[in-house]
Amino acid sequence: MRVRVEQTALPGIGVRHDLLTESGRRLGVVSHRNGRRDLVLYDPDDPDSCQHDIPLTDDEAEALADILGASLMLGQLTGLREQAAGLLTEQIAIPAGSKYVNRRLGDTKTRTRTSASIVAVLRGGEVFASPGPTFRFSAGDVVVVVGTRKGLDGVTAILADSDPDG
C-alpha cells in the first residue's frame, strides 16, 4: 500500500505533513520555521482537530526517525530475502572479545573473504546504514549482513575471532 503524504504550507509557521494510517487515524508533523518539530495526532471524530501535540527536540526527532528507519530497512531486507532465492539477511552481534572491536570495517575484509555485505550497524538505538570501510566497530554492535548462508556463517566467524594474529 502506497501511503499518501499531504504537505500544507502554514504561513508564518512552517509546513505540515499529514498522513492517514490504514487504521483510519490521521497524524502529522509540523516543521516550524524556527526548526522546532511537533508530532501531531488528530481527533478521530474530527480530523481537523488536534487531539495530541508532542513537541520534539532535534535529538528526539532524530531518534524517532532512526527507530522507524531501522524497522523499515529490516522489513525491506526481509522482503528482498523472499524475492531472491539463496540470499539471506542476518543480524550478528560483535562480541566484546572480538579482535575487530575498535577497528575499522575495512580491516575485516568480510566482503572479499565471504562475498557477504554488511549493510548496516545497529548501536545503542542508532542505525548506521551502509557503513563505509572506515567505520569503527564497538563491542555489542549488531551488524546487518546480506549474503548466502555460507557467507553469513563466514562473517559470524570473522567477527567472533578473538585471536589478534588470526
Asked if residue 46 has pLDDT above 90, the reply is no
> Which three-class secondary structure state does DSSP give residue 86?
coil
pTM of the model: 0.51
Contacts (Cβ under 8 Å, ≥6 apart) of 70? 120, 122, 127
Per-residue pLDDT tens for 62-103? 788 777 766 566 666 666 556 666 777 888 999 999 999 999
The percent of residues in the chain predicted with pLDDT above 90, rounded, is 40
Cα first-last separation, the chain? 49
| Spatial contact of 120 and 142, defined as CB atoms under 8 Å apart | no
Asked if residue 18 has pLDDT above 70, the reply is yes
